[in-house]
Amino acid sequence: MRSTLLHLLRHAPQDDTHFATSLRVIGPEQGLLLIEDAVYALLPRTSAVNAMQLLPASIRLFALESDVLARGLAIDDLPQRVSLIDYPDMVELCTRYDKVLSW
């Protein structure tokens, strides 16, 4: 049985291998949500943000807006394909996918 999966990342890609790992094993139609320090993956011109840009277009990317703003990342610099969401969106997102893998 195929089911949908949301990868939930919480640690900065610069400090933690789980970011690279989840990008390596993410399947088409799956989603990736960045919260807490994982939003540092959106720092411009880093290998992390480049790697996300290269993911198949069928993979949806999300980031928790408050975590992005709290860390002073400029919204204008974010890749267009990243959807910024709030906490109610995050809850909704977690229920929309069959399962959530929290790295």
Partner 1 sequence: MEPDLKSLLVISRQPPTAIAAREALDLALAAAAFGVPVSLLFMDAGVLQLLPGQESTLIEQKPVASNLQALPMFGVEDLFVCQHSLAERGLQPGRFIINCKAVDSAEIATLLEHHDQVVAL
Site residues (CB under 8 A) for partner 1? 1-3, 5, 17-18, 21, 24-27, 99, 101-103
Work out whether the CA dihedral 102, 72, 80, 47 comes out positive or negative.
negative
CB of 67 to partner 1, least distance (A): 20
Closest alpha carbon to 59 in 1, 3, 5, 2: 5
Torsion of the alpha carbons at 78, 46, 55 and 99, rounded to the nearest 10: -80
Judged by beta carbon, residue 9 or residue 78, the one nearer partner 1 is 9
CB of 80 to partner 1, least distance (A): 25
CB of 16 to partner 1, least distance (A): 9
